[in-house]
Structure 1
Amino acid sequence: MLFLDKFLQGLKPQFDDDVVDRLNYYYTPMLLVIFALTLSAKQYVGQPIQCWIPAQFTGAWEQYSENYCFVQNTYFLPLTHYIPNDIQEREDREIGYYQWVPFVLGLQGILFYLPSLIWRILNWQSGVAVKGIVQMCQDVGNMNVEKRKSSVEVVAIHLRDSLRTQQQLLKRNIFGTLLRRGSFLNVLYILVKFIYLAQVLTQFVILNRFLGTSYTLWGFDILRDLAYGREWQESGHFPRVTMCDFEVRVLGNKHRHTVQCVLMINMFNEKVYLFIWWWLLIVAVATLGSLIYWIVMSFSNAQHESFVSQYLRVYNLLSDDKYGALGKFVDQFLRMDGVFLLRLIASNAGDLITTDIVYQLWQMFLQDEAAKAQTLPLPNAPASQLEEVDGLNNDKQRLT
């Protein structure tokens, strides 16, 4: 049973970002892979195409013509149109996407995962093991009450040490010249959000180019066609009946045959791609909203202090005279990346664990400030400075 539990824990995905990112790199690729495997089974196991052939064709000829027409592109003509005599005009009407649908869906899934790969590779340059910290917080949340207190303290110490290590690394790291100290993870995360948004917009272009449609807003236009009763026979999108030309040699002479085929696979392709288009639209809107949210949350000091203060109020650690210390705690102790990590912890591990971690970090901050303040005042120091030292010492004694 222990081995089974470890195995199942290994299969469980580990996240170090928000739910919109998972929608891009986890759920969407999974959905695309499921569609790709389903359509592959229909293509290579079932009968994706069936052709109506002349009576003189034998069974072997029928099998040959269907295999050839599936491999070779077919072309669409409305049933009321005559077959053009010009071979080039027939070739201009060819549709050839149906053979490549599973492979293109797999490629789209890979493209969705690439921004996440960039995030995981580059966030290590900050000196903070983002995924490890978030995972530690998730593990703490699953512990009983007795173990959780000591584990939260370990996580808080690890988080504090990681932020301190980050300050040293950014002085020697090439990214330190590009980003302000303490904002590396924030800027990188916003950049990855931009890549997610650009990537999902690129998916619309890939879809339109691949399907060869003249519609710009393909999903809206297809639904409009369905609403007004404009079927595939008129629009030409995902046609079920197509024409196929092939040549055979008989006694050294080439004979050209034209057969009519039913593309049954297109009935599934239409539903799949209609769902994918609307899914991409939902992902694009969610990604844009998430990008705007993180920009506002990441570069607003007021939002930083408001976010941290809501957890400190749980233990009644804030009063009117402590808001100056709160600003120093956020700006100098946590900095932008510290607040960013707390937001990720809250998103993935919950508010309970985040509250305990913020409490531990606040305690460490007050202890550090009290230790610093003891060496600062001189005998002729102003009364306000002496009062600040006394206040910090009182906080330290109360917390310990």
Structure 2
Amino acid sequence: MSVFGLLSGVAGFVKVRYLIDKAIIDNMIFRCHYRITSAILFVCCIIVTANNLIGDPIACINDGAVPNHVINTYCWITYTFTLPGQHGKHVGTEVAQSGLGNDNQEKVFHSYYQWVPFTLFFQGCLFYVPHYIWKNIEDGKVGLISQGIRGMFALPPKERVSRQKRLVNYILESLRTHNGYSFGYFFCEILNLANVIANIIFIDKFLGGTFLTYGTDVINFSNMNQENRSDPMLEVFPRITKCTFHKYGASGSIQKHDALCVLALNILNEKIYIFLWFWFIILAALSACAILYSALVVMLPTTREAIIKRRFRNGTTNEVEGLIANIQVGDFLLLHLLGQNISVNAFSEILRELCNRLSSSTPSAPSPMEMAPFYSSALENEKETMT
């Protein structure tokens, strides 16, 4: 199968064509984890397994005593090595290739290359886990209560207004019962940050403790004098390595056969992991900012007021302060997610009706018969959309 055919399968993972009717249940940084990062890792997994891009991932040459296909297979499934003391020397006069030389010195063994596709796929799955947990906690609540007033599939004005009133009734009936809902969301945000940090540490261990400084080493290398610099990408992902094969000779003695192996796969690996280094650092910083933002939302009512004011068109300061004073953090999160899924005008109408009902001395509670058509209609529409 061609590379483009495989990549087309990953394109559906981003679900661009479904975003028009999908309820938004998180923020943009949250989506960067399970949509963008998972897609990037799956694409990288496909690229490193596409032999038609680089040919054979490993090709070894020896003195001819061992068949090429045998030495290639052996060096691929075991390991190869380089000599760190031979990096940075002039190729052609001091060393045959960077990192190669006399074996009687310190060696660095490389056995990661056969595991790269598996680790990339595993990491792609890890970045989807927090979304999977939150999706099960959320259980389609936002999509259900915004059905019919969300996006381009909104109902005609008269029926939409009727649904908005039923939605206000639902919010009043379930007031102060969503703190567990918000705790699940904030927990998954923390899980996102922990997941990024854990993946950085995992790659560092996987590459022998070279990943944490890999990006900074590459930046420093680009600023060095060309005659006095050693490429860190060649040290972490060497393109030519050595491999030793032992076998019995005709007399029963053990014979040693050295081979030089070209690791063409490392041409791709070095580019993939330098991109992942920068992407993970950026994603970790954004995730930390998202957690700080959520902490401010939880601890400071003024932060919640400022967020509501941005979408509450023509809402007065007293209305916003009264609304925040009467709802808890869980209720605010539900309103915030609801505001991301409907128009500003519809959201403002809902908030105004909610403020009026909360400010009245005897707010009317919705009866089960009044709420039944709202849920039955929403569930039917949701089932039709899924089919």
Per the normalisation by structure 2, the TM-score is: 0.74
* 2:328 maps to 1:354: no
Distance 1:292 1:253, change over 3 A: same
Q: Which residue in the other structure is 1:237 paired with? A: 236
Q: Deviations over 1:321-368 (max 9, x none)?
A: xx2x65443333x432222122223334453442233234335445x6
- Tell me, in whole angstroms, the C-alpha distance in 2 between the residues paired with 1:72 and 1:94: 10
* 2:79 maps to 1:73: yes
SS in 2 for 1:224: helix
The one-letter amino acid paired with 1:26 is: R
Q: Which residue in the other structure is 1:329 paired with? A: 323
- Tell me, in whole angstroms, the C-alpha distance in 2 between the residues paired with 1:149 and 1:290: 38
Q: Deviations over 1:127-173 (max 9, x none)?
A: x8245346x37x622146x6145335425524642563475xx6xxx
| Alignment check: 8 A CA contact 2:38 2:125 kept | yes
SS in 2 for 1:189: helix
- Tell me, in whole angstroms, the C-alpha distance in 2 between the residues paired with 1:34 and 1:71: 24
Q: Which residue in the other structure is 2:144 paired with? A: 132
Measured after TM superposition, the shift of residue 282 of structure 1 is 1.1
Pairing 1:248-397 to 2, within 5 Å after superposition:
248-251=247-250, 254-314=254-314, 318=316, 323=318, 326-332=320-326, 334-365=327-358, 369-370=361-362
SS in 2 for 1:142: helix
* 2:38 maps to 1:38: no
Aligned length: 332
The one-letter amino acid paired with 1:338 is: D
SS in 2 for 1:119: helix
Distance 1:188 1:35, change over 3 A: same
Query: Once the two structures are aligned, what percentage of the paired residues are identical?
Result: 24
| Alignment check: 8 A CA contact 2:54 2:265 kept | no
Q: Which residue in the other structure is 1:392 paired with? A: none
- Tell me, in whole angstroms, the C-alpha distance in 2 between the residues paired with 1:11 and 1:358: 24
Pairing 1:99-248 to 2, within 5 Å after superposition:
99-123=114-138, 129-133=141-145, 136=147, 140-143=150-153, 147-148=156-157, 150-151=159-160, 153-155=162-164, 157-158=166-167, 160-161=169-170, 164-165=173-174, 182-214=178-210, 216-228=212-224, 229=226, 230-232=229-231, 236-248=235-247
Distance 1:354 1:233, change over 3 A: closer
Distance 1:19 1:105, change over 3 A: same
- Tell me, in whole angstroms, the C-alpha distance in 2 between the residues paired with 1:107 and 1:221: 26
Q: Which residue in the other structure is 1:177 paired with? A: none
Q: Which runs of 5+ in 1 are unaligned?
A: 1-7, 171-181, 373-400
The one-letter amino acid paired with 2:70 is: Y
Measured after TM superposition, the shift of residue 193 of structure 1 is 1.7
* 2:28 maps to 1:28: no
- Tell me, in whole angstroms, the C-alpha distance in 2 between the residues paired with 1:11 and 1:351: 17
Q: Deviations over 1:74-113 (max 9, x none)?
A: 0013347643258xx65xx211111111111111112212
The one-letter amino acid paired with 2:82 is: F
SS in 1 for 2:49: helix
Q: Which residue in the other structure is 2:6 paired with? A: none
- Tell me, in whole angstroms, the C-alpha distance in 2 between the residues paired with 1:358 and 1:97: 56
Measured after TM superposition, the shift of residue 69 of structure 1 is 1.3
Per the normalisation by structure 1, the TM-score is: 0.72
CA RMSD of aligned residues (A): 3.4
Distance 1:348 1:215, change over 3 A: same
Q: Which residue in the other structure is 2:58 paired with? A: 49
Distance 1:121 1:9, change over 3 A: closer
Measured after TM superposition, the shift of residue 39 of structure 1 is 0.4
SS in 1 for 2:30: helix
- Tell me, in whole angstroms, the C-alpha distance in 1 between the residues paired with 2:77 and 2:53: 12
SS in 2 for 1:259: strand
Q: Which runs of 5+ in 2 are unaligned?
A: 1-16, 87-94, 365-387
- Tell me, in whole angstroms, the C-alpha distance in 2 between the residues paired with 1:150 and 1:67: 69
Measured after TM superposition, the shift of residue 187 of structure 1 is 3.0
Q: Deviations over 1:101-126 (max 9, x none)?
A: 111111111221222222223345xx
- Tell me, in whole angstroms, the C-alpha distance in 1 between the residues paired with 2:171 and 2:65: 75
